[in-house]
Structures are given as C-alpha cells and as structure tokens.
Structure 1
Amino acid sequence: MTALSLFSTIFFFLNTIFTLQSIHPIGSSTAGDGFSVRLIHHDSPLSPSYNHSMTAYDRIQAAAYRSVLRLNHIHSLTTTFSSSEQDISSRIVPENGEYTVTFSVGTPPTQVHAFMDTGSEVIWVKCSQSSPVFNPAKSSSYGHHPCDSLACEVLGVGRRTCAEFLDPCYYRVRYGDGSTTEGTLSHDKFAFEDPERNLVDVGHLDFGCSDYSSWHFVGNESGALGLSRQPLSLISQLDIKKFSYCMVLPNNEGVGSRMYFGSEAVISGGRTPFLEGEDRYYYVTLIGIRIGDQNVPLPVGIFNRTIDGEGGFMIDSGTTYTFLRSEAYDALIKALNEAIDLPQRRGPSEWFELCFEGSFEDLESAVPDVTFIFDGAEVILMKQTTYIEAKKGLWCLAMVRSNEKLSIFGNVQQQNYFVGFDLEEQVVSFAPVDDCATFQ
C-alpha cells in the first residue's frame, strides 16, 4: 500500500467516525435531557426585524401578506410539479418567518437570529452575501463535510454538488416556488439562548453555511432553524423526541414566547395523531369546525390528503393566520353570518372577507366560540385568536381563504395553548392556558 493510499484510507476512516457523530445525537453536559429557548415574534419590539414606523394596522396587513407567501411556499414543497408547470414568472420568494430563535455558532461564539420553522429541514446561516453574520474562517471549531461523507449523502443527489472525494460538499436547496439557499455543508459548535439569556451548549451540529439565499431578511435575522422530522433538522440531529411551544397573545408584544425541547416539553391536553405516511410536515386530521354548539356544514372529507399529495390539514408555526380551502372557508363565513348579530362589512383588504363593527366587548358578549375539532382533540379559540382589529372598531375573522387544496392551522390560532409534538407517540397535543406570558 502506498503512503498516499494509506493516508486516504486513514482520512476516510476518521472522517466517517466524525460524520457519524455529527449527524447522530450528541450528548451535552449543559443541555442535559432538555432545554428551552425564547421565541420572539416578528412584530414584537424585541425582534431584530421590528419596524418602529409601522402602525398596528400595517402589521396586520403585512402578516396577512406573509401568510399568503407562506401558503404558496408550503404548497410548492408539498406538491409534485411537472417541468412544464414550473413557470418562473409565477414564483414567489417567501419572506422571513414569524418567530425568531437566538443561538450562537462557532468558537468564539457568533450570535445568530434565525427564524423557527416546523416546516423546514436544514439549519442554515448566512456566511457571505451582504452583511455576513458568521465567518467560518474565524471559528476554530468549524469544519466542512467532504463530498464522500454520510452527511453529504443524506442531502440526496439533487441537493448536492460534488466533484472529487475530498472536495467540500456544496448543498443547494431549491424549493418549488423558486427560492433557494446554497453554500457549504458544514459543522460547528452550537449553543442556544435560553429565556434567561444563558447559552445552552448542544455540541456540534450540521448546518448550511450559506453564501447565497433568495429568502428576504429584515433587520438582523440571518438564518433558519429547521424543525421538521427529516435527518438534518435540529430535532433529528439532537434525537429530540418531544418539543412544545407556548405563544403569547398579540397584546403581550414586549414578552417573548417560549419553546421547550426534550424533558422540558409539555405534552398534555387533547392529542391528535400525525397523519400516517407523512414524515416531513405535521399533518393531522381535522374532523370539523363548530360555532357555539352548532357544527359548520362542511363537505365530507374536505380536509383529507389526496393520493396524489394534494390538500390535507397541517399544523405550522410559520404561518400567521389559519388558511381554509375555499369550500370550507365559504361554509364557515356563512355559518358565522347567521350566528353573529353585529353590523357586518367587508374588511380593508382582500384577505379579510368577514368583519364586524363594534367593540371587543361586543365580540365577547355577542359572538359564540369557534372550535376546531381534531381527531382526539378540540381547540376552542379565544376571541383574541379568532378576530383581529383590522381598523379601529372593525373586527375581522383572523382566517384567510386558501386558493389551494391545502389548509393550515396558523400560529395566531395556536396562541395561549401549549402545543406539543411527541415524535414517539406520533401526536400533536393541545393544552389551553390562561396566559402563555406567565411562563416567562
């Protein structure tokens, strides 16, 4: 055996050991069995992307727009398009997410603000472009994965660019809506900022060191934290079997929500199973919707997932307002029209189709509760999570029409609930609380 071949064999052996450690769970004396982090809403004054010049009504309109972009984005990821259907002119580049998580990367640590996304796999951070956040050359613990590593193989043929054995693995994640993130598949030390601003060490993680992204970031946000069930997500790399979050109401803008991992996750209340056969997104079965004690007359199977991958009902933290496919949305609006005795008129934008004139006290006294009935769980919405004040004295239904077959349970309707994801039991749980802000 030549010296060169011996070197290659030893390098491959050591690299394989490190790679297996990197994409499988890594113990941490600091993180222990569980940890929690702060979630900062896009429109909170605590957010790095907070725009002080926007009014409350501007924020509502912007959130609706982000929701529409999010729906289009997720639909593109969950639908198989033929090449003839991928019209570049119709693609919409999604905006940054709704909730921001703070963590550090590297040695010495560099602080990163990234959006939390239960519908995404890869963790990635801006390493170049304008205003790079993380400079790998300045981290003594940084490393990249070569093309012949297990981590690179996990990406799949269509998402990596490789030439030679020892070349860096260059990832390129291109979504169906045309948005992309690309760069070097890397690994480095990660630590998350907990609610007390302490850093919780979780060891090395695989991530994308992005030198290009078409995602639109505002302020200091600079990456994404994928929480799907695929191999390169945070929960898969740390072998986290449970996580949960408790999102505060909009009137608590100066208070951060919380997210809990591992032993600190709260799995309680009603539980609904994940839809079988789906290993990426969190699809569940929505049986119906109730207004007061009356069921909304919905078409049978309206929220079912079709055999060709269309439709279904998804729990998503990155979508602001709940989306209901048109047939269900029309039935809900008709039922609310009949149940609510307040002056009605259309909202200030195309997204808000049902609005009522009056005070919040009028809503409290005259409007029955809306309940989402899942398989095994019921979620009774508060008035604050059912309606938004789109203009002074004008309260609009905080749900939007989906022009796709896909329906999504948005984060506004999840507020003031402990929403838990148990990956062992394959369920999503919902436990109502008086105020998520009390858990600060």
Structure 2
Amino acid sequence: MASTTTFFLYLIFLLCSTLNFMPLEAPPPDFSTKVTYDPDSDLYIASYSIGTPPQNVLAFVDTASDVIWTNSKTAFKSASSTTYGALPCDDKSFCQKLNQRTCKIRSNQNCTYKIKYSDQASTSGVISQDKFSFDAKDVGILKFGYATDTSPNLFEGKDINGCLGLSLITPFSFISQLGIQKFSHCFVKTSSKSTTMYFGSKAVISAKDSIPLVDPKYYYVKLNGISVGNKIVNLKSQPGRIYVDTGATYSRLKKAVYDPFLKLIREEVVKPVAKSPHDFLEFCFKATKAEVENLPKVTFQFADNKVNVSFVNGVTYLEFDGGVWCLAIIRSTENDSLLGNFQLANLNVGYDIAGKQISFTNTNC
C-alpha cells in the first residue's frame, strides 16, 4: 500500500513539473477611496486607515512617488497599533533595495530613510509595516515610511499627513506591493465635493482613448504635438515624452517645447497684458470669465496623433483678483515635461498597468 501511494505521489510530481505548475497567488483586492481637493496645497487627498485598531490618515496622491509614508506626529501612532512593526536595516526584501535608505546595513539598526522633494521639503523616519484598510476594507500588510521628522515647509498648517506613492513598477510603491493591475481617478477642483479613486476591476479605462506607456517606472507617454485652437505649435524637434504627476500642481513643458508654445499662446490670446502675481507664471492678461471660456483650447496630441486631449480653459488659465488670468501650463526647470493635477481636473485618467497603457477621457467628474 505504501509503495502504491509513493508511486502515485511520484506521478503527481512529474505531472506538476511537466506543466511547470506554480501555486496561484490571490488576486489583488478591489477597493476604492474618496479623494478630495485641498486648496491650500493644490493637492488631492485620499483617506485610508493604518493599524489595529484603524487610525485615519489623509495622504496626498502622488503618481510620481514610489514610497508610502505617514506623519507620526499628526496622524498614525505606532504605539497604539498591535500589528505595527519596524523593519531592520538588514532586511533584504525591502530595506536594502530602497534608494532612500539612510541606515548602514551592518549596524543592527531599524531601516531608516529620507525623501527630499523638488522644493527642498523633506521627510525622514523608519520603514515599517502594518495593516492598511480603505473604506473599512482590509487590503493587507504594507511597507511604509513612518515619518518621525518632516521639514517645516512640508504641508505646514495643513491637514495632509502622508503620501500615497503610486508610481509604476518599483518594489516599494502601493501599486507594486498589492499587485494592482488597474486604477483610475477623476479629479474635481473643489473642496466641497469628493470623487472616488478605484483600484482593481472597477477602474474606468477607455480603450479608444488609451496611449502606450513608454517607461517601466513612471507614467510616461509619447507627446506628438500641441495645438492652440486650430493652429499647431511649430516645434523644431519632436516634443518627446511627458509623464503624469498628480503630486505636481501645474503641467510643465521643457524649454524646447515651452518657448514655441508660449509664442503661439501670446498670438492667439489677444487680451490686455497684466502683471503676473508670481514669477513662474509668464503670461497673464485681463479678461472676463466668459471671454476666457471662448479662448482657443489647448490640445495635446498622443499616440501618433490618434488620441487628442483638449483642456477646458478653466484648467488652462488660472484666475486671480481683478479679472487677471494667467497661463497655468508653466516652464519646466528640467529637461523634462509633466502633466500636473491642475490640468487633470475633469479628466477620467485610467491606468492599465497590465496592458502598459493609460487613458485620458474628458468628462464631468
């Protein structure tokens, strides 16, 4: 009897080896979170909970960041969570792969990190792990930065107390840790209304408006051209790539693209020039709201001109007191271009990570 059992087990082993059998992993969970615009920071804020019992966190949504972190002074308290744990510096699965790591591997310390943003604001602390839940739905144990120190200019006086890093395929981002294949958002630029960000099968992705992603880490797409009304910006070379960055307020174009773009804007917007309230806003004018609504629309062309995204003038120009309006697409200080959250308002943005594409659909969010 024993020899017969052994024989059948051997046959099963051979069959599994032949079929290259691997145990199936649990599919990523479907869940959602409410997202609200914060006018003080010009960022979009997601609400979720960390720990046992759950502690609420308000974090800004950042598709160009690969680390989740939360402020230990204003939000999550590790001592109050029975499921909290700090990672050691010699942790090979996570800590040693972290570019922002500050601890020495053989120091018998906790895994420490420091993140510095483009405006020189920074946050640092301990890489930890705990249970995360969205709208009371447990999504699992995630690694995150438990921020014990933040610079004074990082969301000072605001309710934001963390970052939800949603960059593409890195070991540390929210997307990678949960194995999320799809997500979508539709922002509205008012604090009186929240919208829903969907993760999983309920994510809204438009096949006809989809554009191939061209980078393994960030949401870069190929920008083919720009038009203002029915006139095309005269570019001396291809505009190159542009990436989606929900953690940046205004879209930015590199110099080779911005200079001819601004030239055409000046030609098409024939209004009295006004003094700019900020140095980074290079073109301002006086007009009524009705006049601005009738200005030629700015359109970005993608996917070999097969997908066009037109921005309503309410997100192309920024209104100030006294009937002053300024172009809200600004010059990049680097040789790179990005789509910021100001221009993403009233666009359904669908991220198809499995299909390596992204879609932009004009809609009333």
| Shorter-chain TM band | 0.7 to 0.9
Question: Per-residue displacement from partner, 1:331-350 (whole Å, max 9, x unpaired)?
Answer: 12221222233333342322
Q: Aligned residue for 1:307?
A: none
The one-letter code sitting in structure 1 at the alignment partner of 2:31 is F
Shift of 1:271: 1.6
CA distance in 1, matches of 2:260, 2:199: 38
- Which of 255, 273, 286 lines up with 1:326 in the alignment? 255
Question: Per-residue displacement from partner, 1:200-253 (whole Å, max 9, x unpaired)?
Answer: 2112111122222336123332221111121111111110011111011x3x33
Q: Aligned residue for 1:395?
A: 325
Which SS does the other structure have where 1:392 is aligned?
helix
Matched, 1:107 2:35: no
The one-letter code sitting in structure 1 at the alignment partner of 2:84 is Y
* Unpaired segments ≥5 residues, structure 1: 1-24, 44-49, 51-61, 64-97, 194-198, 305-311
Matched, 1:206 2:120: no
CA distance in 2, matches of 1:176, 1:380: 30
Q: 1:228, 1:281 within 8 Å by CA — same for their partners in 2?
A: yes
1:377/1:169 CA distance change after superposition, 3 Å = farther
CA distance in 2, matches of 1:161, 1:115: 30
Q: 1:347, 1:390 within 8 Å by CA — same for their partners in 2?
A: no
Q: Aligned residue for 2:112?
A: 171
Matched, 1:368 2:307: no
Number of equivalenced pairs: 334
Shift of 1:160: 4.1
Shift of 1:132: 4.7
The one-letter code sitting in structure 2 at the alignment partner of 1:102 is S
Q: Aligned residue for 2:233?
A: 296
Q: Aligned residue for 2:316?
A: 386
Which SS does the other structure have where 1:285 is aligned?
strand
CA distance in 2, matches of 1:383, 1:212: 40
Q: Aligned residue for 1:133?
A: 75
Q: Aligned residue for 1:120?
A: 65
Q: 2:100, 2:113 within 8 Å by CA — same for their partners in 1?
A: no
CA distance in 1, matches of 2:311, 2:266: 18
CA distance in 1, matches of 2:293, 2:100: 55
Which SS does the other structure have where 2:67 is aligned?
coil
Q: 2:213, 2:358 within 8 Å by CA — same for their partners in 1?
A: yes
1:344/1:172 CA distance change after superposition, 3 Å = same
CA distance in 1, matches of 2:259, 2:95: 46
TM-score normalised by length of structure 1: 0.70
Which SS does the other structure have where 1:289 is aligned?
strand
The one-letter code sitting in structure 2 at the alignment partner of 1:134 is F
Question: Per-residue displacement from partner, 1:399-438 (whole Å, max 9, x unpaired)?
Answer: 11223211111111111111111111111101111x20xx
1:132/1:388 CA distance change after superposition, 3 Å = closer
1:355/1:106 CA distance change after superposition, 3 Å = same
1:358/1:184 CA distance change after superposition, 3 Å = closer
Which SS does the other structure have where 1:330 is aligned?
helix
- Which of 320, 335, 341 lines up with 2:264 in the alignment? 335
Q: How does 1:30-429 map to 2 (within 5 A)?
A: 33-43=29-39, 98-127=43-72, 131-149=73-91, 150-155=93-98, 159-163=102-106, 167=108, 169-175=110-116, 180-193=122-135, 199-214=136-151, 216-218=154-156, 219-229=158-168, 230-248=170-188, 250=189, 252-268=190-206, 269-275=208-214, 278-301=215-238, 303-304=239-240, 312-365=241-294, 367-375=295-303, 376-429=306-359
CA distance in 2, matches of 1:146, 1:158: 11
Shift of 1:35: 1.6
The one-letter code sitting in structure 1 at the alignment partner of 2:49 is S
Structure with the largest fraction of strand: 2
Which SS does the other structure have where 1:336 is aligned?
helix
Shift of 1:157: 9.2
Q: 2:210, 2:307 within 8 Å by CA — same for their partners in 1?
A: yes
Shift of 1:371: 0.4
Question: Per-residue displacement from partner, 1:254-291 (whole Å, max 9, x unpaired)?
Answer: 0113311111111114121112xx33221111111011
Q: Aligned residue for 2:20?
A: none
Structure with the largest fraction of helix: 1
CA distance in 2, matches of 1:392, 1:137: 51
Q: 2:228, 2:296 within 8 Å by CA — same for their partners in 1?
A: yes
Question: Per-residue displacement from partner, 1:358-413 (whole Å, max 9, x unpaired)?
Answer: 21211233x21110111242101111111121222222211112232111111111
Shift of 1:155: 2.3
Q: 1:161, 1:169 within 8 Å by CA — same for their partners in 2?
A: no
Root-mean-square deviation (CA, aligned residues, Å) is 2.5
1:176/1:221 CA distance change after superposition, 3 Å = closer
CA distance in 2, matches of 1:110, 1:338: 53
Shift of 1:329: 2.0
1:236/1:26 CA distance change after superposition, 3 Å = farther
* Unpaired segments ≥5 residues, structure 2: 1-23
Shift of 1:162: 3.2
* Further displaced range: 152-161 or 118-127: 152-161
Shift of 1:356: 2.8
CA distance in 2, matches of 1:384, 1:176: 28
Matched, 1:432 2:362: yes
